[in-house]
Chain A
Amino acid sequence: AQSVTQLDSQVPVFEEAPVELRCNYSSSVSVYLFWYVQYPNQGLQLLLKYLSGSTLVKGINGFEAEFNKSQTSFHLRKPSVHISDTAEYFCAVTLLQGAQKLVFGQGTRLTINP
């Protein structure tokens, strides 16, 4: 079975500072990896995904993530955050076969302080 661990439940940062949200996964087979963002009182929106190819993936709103197979990690980064990035971020994995059910991490609440 697959599992996802987001190492920080809350991350407070100052506006215009860089941020890294950490995600590690466990799986005995190859998986696809995703980061979703949930703004307050809204549904989830896809930030970026890794399916294959380059291990550095760029997403929306200036976010990027790097897939590291040896470390089984998929950390999310942004060089300079804005107040509008305040949200909860979820890392998720899915198997390549079958119904591609998503397995989510616990979520990281990113708070941007002015």
Chain B
Amino acid sequence: NAGVTQTPKFRVLKTGQSMTLLCAQDMNHEYMYWYRQDPGMGLRLIHYSVGEGTTAKGEVPDGYNVSRLKKQNFLLGLESAAPSQTSVYFCASRKTGTGDYEQYFGPGTRLTVT
């Protein structure tokens, strides 16, 4: 049981390049989230999904797109990277119906845009 995994762990992009971050969970969780972490700002929600085939915008969605084609995977895409997207990205997942409301986090992806 690997929990929540994220690929890649590190990436350096040039301005204007594109990339996709992959989040995978093996806990059969319904809800999945993408956050970005910046110094002094905590974590901010980018997009989230409440089930396979559904996505919704969070607090800071501009410049990002997401897809949830399979229940266990949640992809975060940057179509044209900008230096402002330099950040650490965390994926999280949560099971519904259990009453504990805990989100389980992946180890993070450190992205630098030059």
Contacts and interface: CB of A to CB of B under 8 A. Distances in A.
A7 interface: no
Would you call the interface of chain A mostly helix, strand, loop, or mixed? strand
Given A45-B105, A100-B101, A102-B103, A107 B42 contact: yes
Interface string A71-97: 000000000000000000010001000
Interface residues of A, number: 24
Interface string B16-47: 00000000000000010101000011111100
B101 A32 contact: yes
A99 interface: yes
Interface of A: 4, 6, 9, 32, 34, 36, 42-46, 49, 51, 90, 94, 99-107
Interface of B: 4, 31, 33, 35, 40-45, 48, 50, 56, 58, 90, 92, 94, 99-103, 105-108
